[in-house]
Amino acid sequence: MNDHLLDIRDLKLAFKSYTGLIEVLHGISLNIRRGEKVALVGESGSGKSVTARIILGLLQEFSTARISGSVSFEGEDLEMQPLSVRQALRGTKISMIFQDPTSSLNPVYTIGVQFQEVLRRGNTQISATDAEARAIALLQDVSIPEPERVLASYPFQLSGGMNQRVMIAMALANEPSLLIADEPGTALDVTVQAQTLHLMRDLVERRGTSVLFISHNLGVVREFADRVYVIYKGRLVEHGQTSELFHSPRHPYTKALMAAVPRITGGGIPDIAEATDAYLDPLIDHEAEAAS
């Protein structure tokens, strides 16, 4: 089992507050192999976004956060590493794409300036002309028609879809081995979202980049991911290959989640009961069952 690029074991997270300790993650274990696209799907408050933040080492800086468990990246336990090492990983070996592309970019700098900064993180010696050539090539990769014009533009001069492509290009600029995509494209129109997701999928497949894809949208997950973890209230409830999970969901929560999505083939508004304790049933792991 050493082909895991990312291996999270029994990760627990709690926040200290005036009402006591609030548990957010109750011990989740997940892994991503090289070149694999893995989705973590759940509703708001399920703990999916904080998981991403822990991988990036962003929550560790909070004095109220209590974290236990291990996060290994390329075989190294990140929790053992000093903060500077973790920070150096960000934007180079591990990069991230956020939900709203326009607000993730700095409005007072041109795309070109921001791109150069991203490239400098990966290679401090890169010259301005090399950086520009590289940026143009990367923007062409994400099917941006006039890369020179885009580099000279400010984020607000570009459409949301264009900014999202710029974000993807930047995220892949330093050839990361892991890309964390937190609800990418949710702020965009459906047609634009569909296009950018296809584009992103093609790119990461071609480069062999691993992806942790965080989403609440089952449809998007089905189209993008190879493997899916379903998370509910800080617990993983079901795990399996995408097609298997979508064809035969077995956990009560996953079943309810799938039933709740209105179908474009009709069938009426789904009839969903109140949340039950069955949603907290233990993890159903299709993969582990297949292996044994």
Partner 1 sequence: MKRTFYILLSNPLSVIGLVLVGTVVFSAVFADFIAPFPSHRGAVVDFTNFNQAPHWPNIFGTDLVGRDVFSRILYAYRISLLLGVVVLAIAVPIGVTVGLAAGYLGGWAEFVLMRLTDVFLSIPPLVLAMAIMGLLEPTLTNGMLAVTTMWWPWYARLVYNVTRSEAQEGYVLAAEIIGASRIHVMFREILPNCVPSIVTKMTLDLGFVILIASSLSFLGLGVQAPTPDLGSMVAEGGNYLPDSWWLTVFPSLAILIAVFGFNLLGDALRQILGSDQ
Partner 2 sequence: MNDSATEFRPVLEARSVSKVFMTATHEVKALNSVSLNVSRGECLAIVGESGSGKTTFANMLLGIYPPTTGEFFLDGDLLPNRRTLPLRRSIQLVQQNPLSSLNPRRTIGASLRLALDVHDIGDRQGRKARIGALLEEVGLPADFAARYPAALSGGQRQRVAIARALACEPEILVLDEPTSALDVLVQARVLQLLDELRHRRNLTYVFITHDLGVVRNIADRVAVFERGNLVEQAGTEEIFERPANAYTRSLIGAIPIITDDEEALRKKVMEKNSAG
Q: Is 278 in the site for partner 2 (CB under 8 A)?
A: no
Residue 1 interacts with, from partner 1, partner 2, none (CB under 5-8 Å by kind): none
Q: Are the C-beta atoms of 44 and 182 separated by less than 8 Å?
A: no
Specify the length of the chain in residues: 292
Burial of residue 165 (number of CB atoms within 10 Å: 0-12, 13-18, 19+): buried
Torsion angle, alpha carbons of 250, 256, 262, 265, to 10: 30
How many other CB atoms are there within 10 angstroms of residue 123's CB atom?
Answer: 14
Q: Is 2 in the site for partner 1 (CB under 8 A)?
A: no
The tokens describing 60, both together, are 């560790």
Q: Is 18 in the site for partner 1 (CB under 8 A)?
A: yes
Q: Which of 90, 93, 201, 222 binds partner 2 (CB under 8 A)?
A: 222
**Given the complex with partner 2, which of 111 and 218 has the nearer CB atom?**
218
| Min separation Cβ 179 and partner 1, Å | 33
**Given the complex with partner 1, which of 61 and 274 has the nearer CB atom?**
61
Q: Are the C-beta atoms of 237 and 281 separated by less than 8 Å?
A: yes
| Dist CA 113 CA 117 (whole Å) | 6
Q: Are the C-beta atoms of 182 and 49 separated by less than 8 Å?
A: yes
Q: Is 261 in the site for partner 2 (CB under 8 A)?
A: yes
**Given the complex with partner 1, which of 44 and 63 has the nearer CB atom?**
63
Q: Is 191 in the site for partner 2 (CB under 8 A)?
A: yes
**Given the complex with partner 1, which of 17 and 84 has the nearer CB atom?**
17
Total residues binding partner 1 (CB under 8 A): 3
| Min separation Cβ 20 and partner 1, Å | 10
Site for partner 1 in 193-232 (CB under 8 A): none
The helix/strand/coil state of 27 is strand
**Given the complex with partner 2, which of 54 and 220 has the nearer CB atom?**
220
| Min separation Cβ 18 and partner 1, Å | 3
Q: What is the DSSP string of 217-246?
A: -HHHHHHH-SEEEEEETTEEEEEEEHHHHH
Q: What angle do CA 210, 113, 205 make, to 5 degrees?
A: 20
Site for partner 2 in 26-65 (CB under 8 A): 43-44
Distances (CA, A) of 97 to 16, 130, 164, 227, 290: 28, 24, 9, 19, 32
**Given the complex with partner 2, which of 275 and 290 has the nearer CB atom?**
275
Q: Which of 19, 44, 84, 125 binds partner 1 (CB under 8 A)?
A: 19
| Dist CA 170 CA 168 (whole Å) | 5
Of the candidates 31, 25, 26, 6, the one whose C-alpha atom is nearest the C-alpha of residue 288 is 31
Q: Which of 71, 218, 225, 231 binds partner 2 (CB under 8 A)?
A: 218
Q: Which of 223, 276, 287, 288 binds partner 2 (CB under 8 A)?
A: 223
| Min separation Cβ 19 and partner 1, Å | 7
Q: Which residues bind partner 2 (CB under 8 A)?
A: 43-44, 189-195, 216-220, 222-223, 246, 256-272, 275
Q: Which residues bind partner 1 (CB under 8 A)?
A: 17-19
